[in-house]
Amino acid sequence: MLVIRPVTMADLPALEQLAEHAVPRLTNLPANRDRLEERIVRSQEAFNSEIEFPGNEHYMFVLADDEREEVLGTATIRAQAGAAEAYYTYRQETLIHASQQLNVRREVQTLALSHEASDATLLCALSLNPRYKGTSAESLLRRARLMFIAQYPERFSRILAVAFPGYLDSKNESPFWESVGRHFFARSFQEMNHIAGVRSKSFIAEVMPQFPLYLPLLTPQARAAIGREHPAHEDALAEMLAEGFVRSRHVDIFDAGPIVKAERERLETFRRAAWHPVRVRPEHALPDAEPAMIANQTLGDFRCIVARYALSPTGQLMLSPQHAKRLGVEEGRAVLAAPLTLPSAVDALDEGEM
């Protein structure tokens, strides 16, 4: 049975595999044993501390098959995207270049380096065994983090953000990087992506151009990549838009991948999540019902599974003994449940401020 739980040190070899096989490689999930080990320690600290407001915590989860003792995926919440170091993005802006004398008026799009997203809580570092791509396990891995945030709101920011890997061409090169970053770093996108994961990011501030970029001066390929996700992440982006995230004006500074954000109260999972007392019933006695994410209420032993949203007439959530055991809950204890299926997405650009 598949379950989401906090990472433990025993998961290190599996995490290394997941980091190596992430497509593309992720800055927040460096394929480097020492860095991953630090992240596990850090995550355990976060789960086991009393925290009143978001700071430099990372909460790292794994998707595990408990019977087969196999780790199939991982995902992280960074309580504050830019807690220790600033979180860098490019913000899309419009400038008006006008001359009355010449009777011209031009709107010019620019990208300006920004730290504005630093306060947001970031959902990041998701990697899944490809066998499970497109299954409910993938949705569980992606969205169980929202079930966790819903339970411990004081630990996170009101604004949640997700940065999707940006567009890479068939040669695995980033057209945006080739037109922008390359001039300042003289390294390939893949190398920089790696360095940003294993070393401190202060080099970004030191070497990235400080002045806004004028889009007409970039290559057409680079312009076309702005706000465009990596082909392997189309479904993931669609799911988060269906969840209620909207595209922000911000894009990644290396590959121009889209950054989506939302006030957490607006997300489907937050709006539809409800507490129910548990009633344990034999598997065969459970009525058919839509699938739901179901989470227990124990911070350091957080568990979240997919099971049927089977409610008794008085609002008890009926769980099989196996499901109750996975969640570590007894009859009468409350669990948080939210439907797994989302209404279809509207892909809108948020006009508000980030």
Ligand X SMILES: NC(=[NH2+])NCCC[C@H](N)C(=O)O
Catalytic residue list:
230
> Of these, 255, 317, 319, 324, which contacts ligand X (CB under 6 A)?
255
User: Minimal CA–CA distance to 138: which of 4, 33, 41, 297?
Assistant: 4
Binding track, positions 267-306, relative to ligand X; x by CB under 6 A: ----------------------------------------
β-strands 121-128, 159-163 pairing: parallel
Q: Is residue 245 at the binding interface for ligand X, with CB under 6 A as the rule? A: no
Q: Is residue 194 at the binding interface for ligand X, with CB under 6 A as the rule? A: no
User: Minimal CA–CA distance to 228: which of 61, 29, 57, 92?
Assistant: 92
> Of these, 71, 161, 253, 299, which contacts ligand X (CB under 6 A)?
253
Q: Is residue 185 at the binding interface for ligand X, with CB under 6 A as the rule? A: no
Rounded to a whole number of angstroms, the minimum distance from the CB of residue 329 to ligand X is 37
Rounded to a whole number of angstroms, the minimum distance from the CB of residue 292 to ligand X is 33
Rounded to a whole number of angstroms, the minimum distance from the CB of residue 304 to ligand X is 27
User: Minimal CA–CA distance to 269: which of 70, 123, 89, 97?
Assistant: 123
Q: Is residue 87 at the binding interface for ligand X, with CB under 6 A as the rule? A: yes
- Both tokens assigned to 71: 């780790």
Beta bridge partners of 110: 93, 214
C-alpha Rg value of the chain to the nearest Å: 22
SS3 string, 86-145, reads CCCEEEEEEEEEEECCCCEEEEEEEEEEECHHHHCEEEEEEEECHHHCCCHHHHHHHHHH
Omega before 24 cis (within 30°)?
yes
> Of these, 90, 167, 185, 254, which contacts ligand X (CB under 6 A)?
254
> Of these, 47, 59, 61, 88, which contacts ligand X (CB under 6 A)?
88
Who contacts 211 (Cβ-Cβ below 8 Å, separation ≥6)?
Answer: none
Q: What is the C-alpha separation between 1 and 220, in angstroms, rounded?
A: 48
Q: Is residue 319 at the binding interface for ligand X, with CB under 6 A as the rule? A: no
> Of these, 80, 92, 114, 193, which contacts ligand X (CB under 6 A)?
193
> Which CB, 35 or 201, lies closer to ligand X?
201
> Of these, 64, 196, 256, 304, which contacts ligand X (CB under 6 A)?
196
Query: DSSP string of 249-289?
Result: EEE-TTT--EEEEEEGGGSHHHHH-EEEEEEE--GGGPPP-
> Of these, 74, 76, 89, 157, which contacts ligand X (CB under 6 A)?
89
Q: Is residue 25 at the binding interface for ligand X, with CB under 6 A as the rule? A: no
Q: Is residue 229 at the binding interface for ligand X, with CB under 6 A as the rule? A: no
> Which CB, 61 or 177, lies closer to ligand X?
177
Q: Is residue 222 at the binding interface for ligand X, with CB under 6 A as the rule? A: no
CB atoms under 10 Å from CB of 97, counted, come to: 10
Q: Is residue 168 at the binding interface for ligand X, with CB under 6 A as the rule? A: no
The region that residue 103 occupies, defined by phi over 0 for left and psi between -120 and 50 for alpha, beta otherwise, is left
> Of these, 2, 15, 27, 293, which contacts ligand X (CB under 6 A)?
27
Q: Is residue 35 at the binding interface for ligand X, with CB under 6 A as the rule? A: no
Residues at the interface with ligand X (CB under 6 A): 27, 87-89, 193, 196, 201, 252-255
